[in-house]
Amino acid sequence: MNTTDPNRARSSDIAVDAFRRDGYLVIRNFVDVSLCRQMSEIVDASLDPPLAPLEFEADVHYPGAPMSKTSRGGFTPRRLLSAFTRHELFRRWATSADMSRVLAALMGTDEISLSQNHHNCIMTKHPGFSSLTSWHQDIRYWRFDRPELVSAWLALDHEDPDNGGLSLIPGSHRSDLGRGRLDAALFMRTDLPENREMIDSAVAAVLEPGDVLFFHCKTYHAAGRNQTDRVKKSVVFTYRATDNGPIPETRSATYQDIALNR
């Protein structure tokens, strides 16, 4: 797993070449654990009772999800939406100088905007009713001038494959898979030998509270179900170069994006 330490992340010596090669980068201890604890408490208060807007596992119809909201576990939250407007702590972190500095290095520009239309959420994985998300690129349903967005995934808990943590395929953001290698929902087909070769090279993103995973919107990634007895929580925001505008009249242009100031 491609990693760097927070001291290097706060300088100009960020592992940009590794990010460009692999399509992702983990910065360890990027966020103070005390801030993660405060964020986690805010999330817990928003889960019990569930505070709208949110997406339920039953809404996505992924493997392992309840069939409908009337099924057992049907009101299991999957994502608390609109994280940017939920609390000042999320806003401050998402637009912080440290975030701006890292994103500027990875994206090659100082002019960066946070998308309020994609991710902008707290991802949760609940025991018993969480679903499996197969191999996909986030860009598949996003509409921008260029497919060059970067997402930042902050772990509020320990994450690994046992509790539904992400796995990523290094270098897959540079792959141009033909349409026949994807299924109807644009997930990578697992029945094809050429896809299996890529999948077998995947790396699990094992994260601790405060670690941040930065990944390219074209990097193929997947996540399994939560097999533990604790809810897993992550804060996720997506960024674009300000000149990489959303296509008008698409979901990507629904809400105004937020310009970061360095």
CATH number of the structural domain spanning residue 245: 2.60.120.620
Gap between the Cα atoms of 260 and 262, Å rounded: 6
- pTM value is 0.93
Q: What is the pLDDT of residue 11?
A: 43
Burial category of 11 from C-beta neighbours within 10 Å (exposed 0-12, middle 13-18, buried 19 and up): exposed
The single-letter DSSP state of residue 64 is T
Give me the domain span that covers residue 97. 3-259
**Total number of domains constituting the chain:** 1
Residue 240 has, within 13 A of its CA and on its CB side, a CA count of: 26
Ranges of residues in the chain with a pLDDT under 70 are 1-13, 262
Q: How far apart are CA 137 and CA 37, in angstroms?
A: 30
DSSP state of 52: S
Distance CA 222, CA 201 (A): 13
* Alpha helices by DSSP H, 51-122: 57-60, 83-86, 88-94, 97-107
The string of DSSP letters for 227-245 reads -SSS-EEEEEEEEEETTSP
- Which pLDDT belongs to residue 80? 97
* Positive or negative: CA dihedral 82, 84, 87, 90: positive
Beta-strand pair 212-216/150-155: antiparallel
For position 12, what pLDDT does the model report? 46
Please report the pLDDT score of residue 6 as a whole number: 56
Give SS3 for 122. strand
Closest C-alpha among 199, 208, 210, 202 to residue 163: 208
Q: Report helix, strand or coil for 125.
A: strand
Contacts of residue 163, defined as CB under 8 A and 6 or more positions apart, other chains included, come to 125, 157, 226, 227, 228, 230, 232
